[in-house]
Amino acid sequence: QNTCLPPETSVYRVFVRPIRVSHMMLRRALHWAAAPPPFVSSTVGNTARGLSCQFRTLAASSISTPGSGSYGGRRYDQRWDSRTRGRVGAVVGVAGSASLASVAQSEANANSNNAAAVVAPMVTLYQYNPCPFCNKVKAVLDYSGIPWQAVEVDPLFKAEMKQTGLKKVPVVQLERTEGYLADSDAIIDRLNVLAESLGSEHALPHAAPVGSTAAETEEQWRAWINGRFVHIVTANIYNTWGESVQTFDYLLTHGNFGKVNQLMSTYVGAGVMFALSKLKLNKKHGIENPRAELYADCNAWVVAVGDNRFLGNDDRPTLADLGIFGVLRAIQDYDTFDEVMANTKISSWYFRVAEAVGDSARIDPAH
């Protein structure tokens, strides 16, 4: 259980944030070295695995601030993490060469004592990287350990969506199936059924008995996420021109749009969303003071969780936990996230869920 207290804003920005960045960069380097391509000496890999384990232990024991959990400031590009590496053989066409796949599959077979396992289908997610609805889906994929890859959609031109026949993200396609799934909650429910069919390797969220008060409470919170929480978070990341540009600057490094499209989508998109937020969206959703209302909503969720580790239980996160976590994880690299961690009581819960979710199950590079 993460027991860190919300830090003061100045201390968090001056001391903690640099530690998170350094922690993330070093861990990425060690992850790559710990699972090198076949042409790299196995001695290097074994040495790096040891260093990686020691580094994680040291970081977990010495940094008791947000970012010190197993998720930390991690992005979604940890292609060679330990959970993913054992499943690379099942997705060789996407993850890498046949040689690497055979090495990874051999390791997976050895770790499972050659036990037969059901291979999870590849999930392709059409997304905008900071989209809160997309990040709800990604939280469930990562928690369940279902391997997935992303198609980054250009928010201005949306050329990547033409083959789906749909206009809005998230959209999901399952390997070995036809058609596309839309609507974040419908996708999540389908993924939950898929994870259950794949066996014990894939974690399932906590589910209260159907018809119980606890189940009804969870459904109410899931509806609240879509009807309220997503919109208050969105209002905050487009609250100023600077925050709008910060939200869209991922396009400069993600996707394959070409430099001209990247620049146009970044600055035109930022301008459009900044204007829409001020002129229409805030009024539509009854938002008058975005920051103060976001802080209040986060604290209301903490009250609902109460003394439990997660909503209604101490065992596993519910779909409501994963939904709110996903929406907040969407903004983890933005100023809004830092201020939420510093000015609300949600940080301990957030990093508990981050620890339960663990490493990303994404197997393709982040951009």
What is the structure's pLDDT at 141? 96
Q: Which H or E run includes 264?
A: helix 259-276
What distance in Å separates the CA atoms of residue 362 and residue 367, rounded to the nearest whole number?
12
Q: Which of 71, 76, 128, 295 is catalytic?
A: 128
CA 81 to chain centre: 15
What is the structure's pLDDT at 88? 30
Q: Which H or E run includes 152?
A: strand 148-152
Q: Which of 71, 76, 126, 134 is catalytic?
A: 134
What distance in Å separates the CA atoms of residue 60 and residue 39, rounded to the nearest whole number?
32
Q: Which of 12, 76, 126, 133 is catalytic?
A: 133
> Is residue 250 annotated as part of the catalytic site, yes or no?
no
> Is residue 133 annotated as part of the catalytic site, yes or no?
yes
**The three-state (H, E, C) secondary structure of 11-76, written as one string:** HHHHHHHHHHHHHHHHHHHHHHHHCCCCCCCHHHHHHHHHHHHHHHHHHHHHCCCCCCCCCCCCCC
What is the structure's pLDDT at 202? 82
Q: Which H or E run includes 337?
A: helix 335-343
Backbone angles phi, psi at 76, to 5 degrees: -105, 25
> Is residue 229 annotated as part of the catalytic site, yes or no?
no
Q: Which of 4, 76, 126, 131 is catalytic?
A: 131
Identify the segments of the chain with pLDDT beneath 70. 1-118, 200, 365-367
What is the structure's pLDDT at 199? 82
Global confidence as pTM:
0.69
> Is residue 131 annotated as part of the catalytic site, yes or no?
yes
